[in-house]
Chain A
Amino acid sequence: MALQRASRPVAQCIRQSSSTLHARTLATTTTTDPSSADAAPPPPSEPSSRTRNPFTASTPAAEKQLAQQKQRPVGSRRRRAALSSTTQIPFTQLPYQAFQEARAFLQEDRREKLEAIGLQRVKIARLQDRVVVGEQDGEVERRKQREKDNRVRSMGRRLEEMKVQADINDPMVKKRFEDGLGDMTKPIYRHLANTQWHSYKRQILLQRLTQMNVVPDVLPALDPIVSTGLAFPTTSSTTAIRSRLKRIQHGDFVPSALSSQPPTLWIQPYNKGTRLCTVAVINPDVPNVEKDGFDHRCHFLAVNIPISPTNTKVRLGELGSTSESKGDVLLPWLPAYAQKGAPYQRMSIIILEQPSPNHTPIVTTLLGAVAESQELDAKSASQDSRYNVRDGFNLRSFVDRYGLKPVGADLFRTKWDEGTAGVMQQAGIVGWDVEFRRKRVEPLPYQRKASERYR
């Protein structure tokens, strides 16, 4: 039908939108009146009540129905088509000759490696049984003891490598790791996770730390060996329901409303054993107008937090409060804030490992496990005047005083936004109505040159 152009825009828009529907559906806009031009088309053939399996839905229609069920397909389309068209044979029993022969070869290799692991264990036991005897009760004996310890330690490291090599060719191990089902108590999954972290995310973290100069400003050097993850809760912690967490990438800007609540930190070590960690959140960009420079401020400090490859979640707001979450909080969470006009402020989260009592190297003991960390005396630390104030907190001094080793870091940034004033007022911070403006620099006086220079 010919369209009458309406002069009013609203009516025109409605008419146009209804005409586009016309174009698609041939003179019907309601469901009760099918067009008479053609025979009524049959209803869709596939019944909508059939449920689809996310592992085997591979046709477009099946995938659409799966989406209607609000489920996502698992694996690639090729995998799903293969699973739907074949019988459910376990992967290791697939009837392909080359595959089975390769499996047999790898299993034989694994057997040899397990034997070698057994032999290595016997060697270590024999070496440990040996008694060190020195002529004089002093330097020679101590030197021989040190040499023996070194040998046992390096044999222990070799043993861990052999354990990884025994399992690294197993396709089921690879599949389990990639599905996120790896058991972190086993060295092979820790090794695979560590390699994966090193290949990309650790490089990103180092790039952010060096580009934003966290490394010379907060600590002189930092070699991350534990991976970190950070997330802030999106609702207030006073609600009973567990709030949703917003994950933050390294170096992201975090809105003030979000960073007013203490975050959740995931700390993943890749060597076995439980160790005690200290977490410090330092802001090295606090503006100081008197000295025309920047101060450090500590937004959070907690010690004696147990971390292991299987126990990685640390809720900074709940440390030490319940019996299950161990740790001593010296300085509770202060919301991150940057006053108006000031440049953005870097909030660096530094993870420090507490030393062992005998000062044995932290990374490996005699058989590859982490040494028992010494508990830091939280009471004496909280009474030390250098470390119980937030303003002017010197992390380098704290690290030296307690012999801590920096093992990990995370970073987020904060700047002035609409919610900062509210957050500062709620936290009782002075200066929510202060703004910074650039100092006017007097230009250099005009210097007239010798007259020959002017023609």
Chain B
Amino acid sequence: MTLTHPKAPSMATLACLQSALSTLRTTHHAVPAITHITRRKASHQAQGRANGAKDGAGKRLGAKKTGGEYVVPGNILFRQRGTHWFPGDNCFMGRDHTIHAGSPGYVRYYQDPARHPKRKFIGIVFEKTQSLPQPTHAARRRQLGMLAYQMPTPPQPEIATDETSAAPTKVSDGTTVSIRNSKMNPGGLQLTLGPGYQYRQSNYEIGRSGDKKEAAANAKGKTIRAFAKFKPGDRFAAWRKSVVRVARSRERKVMGRGGKGGAKKKN
């Protein structure tokens, strides 16, 4: 919708109108003189805008291979902003919606209402006589695109015995250290070499060690708990426990972590 400036009538037109109307007038009052009508001067719309968006350089979008052209995998077929065209058979789309050829063949531009009622597709056929879309319910046309070679070093086939289970076996890296009978390792811990070249127990083993010891003690009718199990409401037991904890933490602070740090600090 264009907005037009209403143009004021010209003086000649006004004079004609006045003379025409004067014949119809019944009275002959003094007609006021036609006031001077302001006249707008036309302004040029083709002046540049101060704050408008400027047009940029052309990005060379559009089709790069026409229908029927022979292409190889990777060839760009269509450059676009968004998906005006979708990748069809044997084509793929890049991150900026560029459509590339996925296999060697001939380009076809087509529509496939069975796939989508409105979309347009670009696909590749293997022979010049073929067309897209492929006939419905027919086995798809596919190309292998590979050659068979003799393996340079044939694999050592593990002939499955009767007792092998097909479940995936645990990967044993053979770097388990178990210093069972050492005085340093009274618990007989199983230490494996982990990332960072660290010999350590696995986290789940550490987490379960307390539970395991408690279970072993319970089996003998004993417990390794220093305090009785928490009873909500027994403030005396809770106070006893916290007194012990506070004393221990105070002792630790005084001694320090580095061994000689506490002594240094005192001085």
Q: Which residues of A contact B (CB under 8 A)?
A: 2-5, 9-11, 13-14, 17-18, 20-21, 24-29, 31-32, 34-35, 37-38, 41-44, 48, 213, 216-217, 220-221, 232, 234-236, 238-239, 246, 255, 257-258, 260, 284, 287-289, 292-294, 339-342, 418-419, 421-426, 432-439, 441-444
Contacts and interface: CB of A to CB of B under 8 A. Distances in A.
Given A25-B225, A257-B166, A38 B240 contact: yes
A294 B142 contact: yes
Nearest to A40: B223
A342 B225 contact: no
Contact of B209 (A21, A220, A257): A21
A288 B144 contact: yes
B191 interface: yes
Interface string B158-191: 1111111111100000000101000011110101
B166 A289 contact: no
Interface of B: 70-73, 75, 104, 136-140, 142-151, 154-155, 157-168, 177, 179, 184-187, 189, 191, 197-201, 206, 209-210, 213, 216-218, 220-229, 240, 244, 252, 255-257, 259
7 contacts: A9-B197, A236-B163, A289-B148, A426-B160, A433-B151, A433-B155, A444-B75
B227 A17 contact: no
Nearest to A217: B139
Nearest to A258: B166
Contacts of B160: 236, 257, 260, 419, 422-423, 426
Contacts of B166: 232, 234-235, 246, 255, 257-258, 419
B201 A13 contact: yes
Contacts of B206: 17, 20
Contacts of B144: 287-289, 292-294
A38 B147 contact: no
A108 to B, nearest CB: 51
A339 B155 CA distance: 12
Given A37-B244, A38-B244, A292 B223 contact: no
Contacts of B213: 21, 25, 29, 31
Nearest to B161: A236
B165 A289 contact: no
Given A21-B213, A236-B160, A292-B144, A38 B227 contact: yes
Contacts of A14: 179, 184-185, 189, 191
Contacts of A10: 177, 179, 184, 191, 199
Contacts of B147: 289, 436-437, 439
Given A2-B259, A419-B158, A221 B137 contact: yes
Given A432-B157, A433-B150, A29 B186 contact: yes
Given A37-B244, A42-B228, A443-B72, A4 B259 contact: yes
